[in-house]
Structure 1
């Protein structure tokens, strides 16, 4: 069967029988109805001549059926016009209870030529209707007429009665046949309609046709009146052509737009459609038989399938392109993974080295400071000791860089504006770069805040600027840019260590010599340097790398030999308000007489620390591990402060030691120290809340200052409890001894829970309204939401310091009065000067001292 002719749907769904012959009168196709009524199989017919197969009637010696059929087919072949046979008798085998018998049937057939491009008959379509019942009826009527002519006059009355009975039976048979035909017509799976005359007036339409067009009155109306919405779609002209030429039309997947409901928009419908002319015996066309199937859903499914295939083809093409690129990406990813694993391994090794190195520096530095006391009066010895201490400090910076690379340094990140930080470093950078290097800063508008340690970030910028200066050999241009950036999923897929999201970009570009690919690959390795011996440690970029990674950022180097280098650093965006870092300047060294338990596994470090503390006046106990320290505390000895290294041998870890010691001695203060925290008390780059840490190596002044701050906090808790106990014993009238004009609204900011609670009670005893919070960030939110007369804050807070909080609060709320409590001493200033109008209240303070501070702040008489 030719590819261009597809009768499958039409044949398989038509209630009438169809078959198709080629020019040689060989079967090309036959539908299921044809096979059923001829008792044939498709494989017996296809390719064989019609007269070799059917009709073959041994009981018809004149072979009338074959003769009539051949004559009709020859007329179609020669005349190239349709031909109709009113009656073709034939016999078919039928299976009965007695066996196979032959049954006489009758057809009415129409032969329609299908022409090729040259106008020649290529195929002949036979459309047949079984008229057996009609033929039998005619025979019955004829037999009745014959019997009527044979009866005598005296049989007339009986004959009349007999004819009446025959007519009644015939009418009943005709009514049954009509009902049967109507039932077939109504139940046809496809839509069917009959159009009569050249106006194409609807004579009949089955329910499937009404379902197609929408239920409306069409019978008795010309098609142009019944279906006005199809005007201009070509169907009226097509009907006219079929009626005029007598040539049928077969269309597959024909598009038509119908208005199925009054006032509704047109609906797109697709149909397999046949316009079959009804040709009378004289060759004229009296009407058109319309038959077809609504294939809209099938068409949509085919369109969806086509779109799906197109989509699949696009996916295949995209996948092909991806596969073409995947090999390079895989190699790149493997290289990144190997580099990451190498850096992680080196980082762990470096962290361990830094720990031992800091312990050595602590021993050296501590003994040098003790020697300064012993060699007072010798200028030469003091000069040499100063040089040695300076070397220890350089070693400490080196160890700090190692810890930065290893991502083990305890950071103090806050929300900062990178643009302001860069602009604030302008003078420092120009001094470091020299006069022959041009410095340009480009800060984008609307810059987001980022969350990072400002001191470490300044070190990063300065380090990169110095590297750039050396690469430019003292002459060139350094550009520092900052802007908002988005690293999307696509970028993250090619950089596995990156989390997609919003970042703040810091880009530092120079016009120096650039890096080769080999140098670029090792740029972040510790101790790798291209500088001459003695001019660099090789820790600058590794420190930058570790800081960025510990901060949760991303770093990328773009460099080409002879064309300079650009280092792009992406720091995570912060939605918090910017804070200004402060520096607390201490008073001269101050010691004490309290008892301190030192826990240190390194004997030399332990001996040095014990001597430093003894020199400061403290009573010192010592232990080499956590288990021994716990035994001392359990013995009942009075201990005021536990000073323990973080990394300890034995079954009792230092955090567990601190926790158990606090259970036994609730007033005990704990100070951790370490050259390498190993994530014991530092997580996510930040010290765990509520803990105090003094990083090794530390100076005697730093140790003394930290101890006094913690011990004064301890004294403050004790003093507050005593003051509250005194007030309770004095009774309710005691509070009235202190005259005051009114209650104040006070915001108390203190991270120590017990001090916060006791201070709130003391202020309550004085008759004031108190709101207490644990951090500067909480205080900022409360200040923004409520009005207060006094801000009473501790100096040392987690995150933003109390001094920075006070300065920001005074700027935003000019009438606010400030009291700053400090365990460090009497001076709390920063580079910008003192907090204007603030009253310093040293710890420990009592009720009267608190009242005096409120008076000095102008809060009460």
Structure 2
């Protein structure tokens, strides 16, 4: 029997009992093994026997089979427990390593300038790094939402979002998804997201892990850079000098149209990317330069001079004009080339050869001009202004000069004080900041009080990340003066061409007047016959007066050129008289008036001229004859019309359509027909101002002109003018007297005996006491003879010896308060204003019927 450690016998059955109890623990778990090991402390000898094997076979033989099997199970359990302990230690070490790795990854994510995020399989965010909260200054969920699919509202282009959404729903990786939004303060954010899908061991989609980049600063910087690039290009294209810029490697970067015009033979090569060497060789091959010797040597020498930036030279270029050519190095190693047109200076130099003083002055002017070109944008002839709708934030030298202030005088000052009706113009120009570009003509008011005419083009811009307006100012004062002269010349040419028709019409009227007068003279006792003849004479006289008035309209000799309520139907009827001598016999002219009550607020002078220009253009479009229709309607245009012309107010419009069946306007030039001085006619046949004047007339009246044309089918011009109610009819004059019991002593002065007699009779019938004089000298004699006892003077303006204005000045010395009524057949607006500037002075246009004469006299006496 085995013995214990103290030499006593071992009870194997009792020693194995705790082991069996442990192995058979109801929990069946390894944590019960320490108890089993403790129970085996007393069974050490039995284990030793088992380990000894056959050597202890006799001793083992004494044990039961059950006991031996139990002991073998305990041994196996001890070995497994040791292995488990080693595995647990390894697992703990691995867990610590993973935990450290996670902490490092999170630290990297939080310290990055970008941010990281993760979603579940339903695309909802399960993790977003704190960096995004710092960037946005708020909870990211308030911007990005709770799911990747919430980004739809932050992607500006729906088509782009559709592509990214398809990838997200398919669990595909995506890159550089751009989103943008504004916070409550109006600040814009530009973010960019990229991600890869996460898949489980079975390949199933478990979500996304991705990163994001804040692109706000880079995007805004790019926008501002593009804006400045556009400003520079616009300024360069606006100058009158040729400008070209080459890079350090000799490639063309920028070239304006004026430079291309100077080199017509190589203009097609003057595009970005072309090398200077290629341009030189093409110029040599196309004959743009006179070359002595080998072309290759010339190109090499010219290229060397280009790179060395030699002093300015004068040259006769292929467009036939002289230029001063300057080349300058840029800070980046490129070359700027400037062309100044000195053709006129060159001609003057040749004319003044030998006159040293003037030659030195010219050279000095050229040197000064050379220095100006070094400040290209600052010295541009067009004013460039950045206006943030509050104040002017930037203005170049040209803008300061146009507005009459010194350098720097336009910084941080309001725009309105420099413009006529500045508040209203500011409101209109400010809409350009929202993308609604504007182009207006206005008057600039300099601090000195001088006025200049400007063309102002407004485009959207950005100033300090806020919407602003880019204004391009073009001083057109001199051009307006020349245009006015050309318009007057064109108008007088039209009047001259109408002289035959006017003479024909006047002869008809004179025939009627003379004929009816003779008929009345032959039968003075036949009252009915005399009344009929007199009425016909009056009608013919009124027609003659109307024809004279129209002739004065076309020659700008009316007293007023302001807008007034005009009956358009009558204008068209009057127009037909002028068209008679101008329209060819093969052209069938129809005046179709569909609305007799069509009235508009317009300058009748310019409206007459505009419609005549359209009719003459129609005539020229039908050299072989055809149909010309001038129709008048009152319409309320549809919404599409007002969408095309956003500045027009809704409502009814008087529409005059001038339609022909001529050759039509070619598609290539339809956008240019409204430009001033653009014409397709032969030199001397047209100034190019006709349609431009039509457009200006409609625009000044608050309307617009539209053109519809088809080549070979004809053209229709539609003039839209805002319709207004007709004026109230003047109250009829019931009496040809000054008033009950009233009388007046009148000094009547006119050099035409028949006119003076008519006026005397009309005044005497009204109860006036009339003293006659044939001119101003005789009038002074009659005045002095009567002791100045006159209530008023009625005098013609144009008379021999002493005219009406001189008579008025002479009478003013005698009686400053004497009332004077001027009569004249024609007078300009300026002349009329001068005659009536003083109180007690009125003017009436001849011919004047008795009613209007007496009403004018009443108004004069009441003044």
Say whether the fold is shared (TM-score over 0.5). no
Q: Which has the higher contact order (CA 8 A, sep 6+)?
A: 1
